[in-house]
Copies of this chain bind each other. A is one copy, B any other.
Amino acid sequence: MEKKKMTMADVADLAGVGKSTVSRYFNGGYVKQSTKSKIQKVIEEYNYEPNAFARLKAKQSNVIGVIVPTLNSKITSRVITSIDRYLREREYTTLIKNSDHDIDLELQNIQKLINMNVDGILVSSIAITKEHKKIFQEAQIPIVVVAQEYEDGISILDDDYQAGKYMGRYIGETGHKKVAYIGVYETDVAVGIRRKQGVLDGLAEYGITDPVIMKSDYSFIGGQKSTREILEQGEVDAIICATDRLAFGAYRILHKEGLRIPEDVSVVGFGGYEESSLLTPELTTLKFDSYAMGYLGAETILKMIQEKPVSKKQIVEFEFIKGNSVKKENF
């Protein structure tokens, strides 16, 4: 039972070859077929796998770091599942670090990954600060920012502005007049600024120029609080929520207050969570293609590692999902 962990040297001995040869075997170097077979045999017998972190001298570690702001989000889950799949199929190891909505922790995590010699980092951040930029610039490895724009480098993003505009227009077009918007803090440029601006511009096209604007965190509770405040400030006929989760909060409060959706108040969100179609009425929302975002992010970082050209900015599509939470011809 005290079976010591096997090392490459053990494998080499057992196979009767040098350990450099075993190393070459694993890294696609030149090895004669007959030698290969010998090595393969002992590997299979002992179920040996090289220690991925002992490759101190290797130029490439074959590990990609992924930084996420939370593990508790549908969207994040989709993005990392997609990244992880893509990388795994190409023999890369994915290292996921959660920064739990804490910017300092995020910065530390990035630094740690760099020190761990990962080949590249995918950063899904809630905000890109000056510190981020500094670290990114000093890093000697490819970095791809996902779901947020990074002007000084490579990023994959949702089309937040256009999506917002689409939604703003939709609410305008369907005849709403007194509109409220529940957004998030502006440190999150993608959602807090661009998406909001899109919504405002879309609404403005229909003459709605002074919507009530709230700022919330990303939580269910936050959506409830904001909705309550909106109602206290007076009547509205539509609430546009920056995320589906916020919309869930709005539903909860509207139901509690005895207001009907959409007869009394229309509600829309952004996200296209699976659960959104289960609400009564089904939530009208915009779905971003998170799987595509993950795929593109992973593809891009590998291209960068191989020093192939990549686009500076790649924009992912969205899809309008029509539910029954918006009142039509609301004249």
Interface residues, chain A, with chain B CB atoms under 8 Å away = 1, 3, 5, 47, 49-54, 56, 70-73, 77-78, 80-81, 84-85, 88, 93-98, 100, 105, 111-112, 114-117, 138, 140, 220, 248, 251-252, 273-275, 277-280
Contact = CB atoms under 8 A, between A and B. Distances in A.
Contact of A100 (B51, B85, B274): B85
A70 B93 CA distance: 16
14 contacts: A3-B138, A5-B114, A51-B115, A51-B117, A53-B116, A56-B56, A71-B84, A72-B78, A77-B77, A93-B112, A94-B97, A94-B98, A251-B278, A278-B278
Copies in the complex: 2
Please give me the 10 A-B residue pairs with the lowest Cβ-Cβ distance, nearest first: A280-B280, A53-B53, A275-B275, A96-B96, A51-B115, A72-B77, A71-B77, A71-B81, A49-B115, A84-B98
Nearest to A219: B274
B278 A248 contact: yes
A80 B100 CA distance: 11
Contact of A50 (B52, B115, B138, B277): B115
B71 A80 contact: yes
Given A49-B115, A100-B85, A112-B52, A5 B140 contact: yes
Given A72-B77, A81-B71, A100-B85, A49 B111 contact: yes
A93 to B, nearest CB: 8
A189 B111 CA distance: 41
A279 B283 CA distance: 11
Nearest to A72: B77
A180 to B, nearest CB: 19
Nearest to A48: B115
Contacts of A251: 278
A88 B109 CA distance: 11
Contacts of A111: 47, 49
A22 B249 CA distance: 51
A19 to B, nearest CB: 15
A112 B63 CA distance: 13
A116 B52 contact: yes
A53 B116 CA distance: 6
Nearest to A113: B52
A97 to B, nearest CB: 8
Q: Which of A80, A88, A138, A277 has the most B CB atoms < 10 Å from its CB?
A: A88
A111 B93 CA distance: 13
A108 to B, nearest CB: 8
B98 A53 contact: no
A274 B80 CA distance: 21
A84 B67 CA distance: 13
Nearest to A273: B275
A108 B49 CA distance: 9
A49 B85 CA distance: 30
Contacts of A115: 5, 49-52
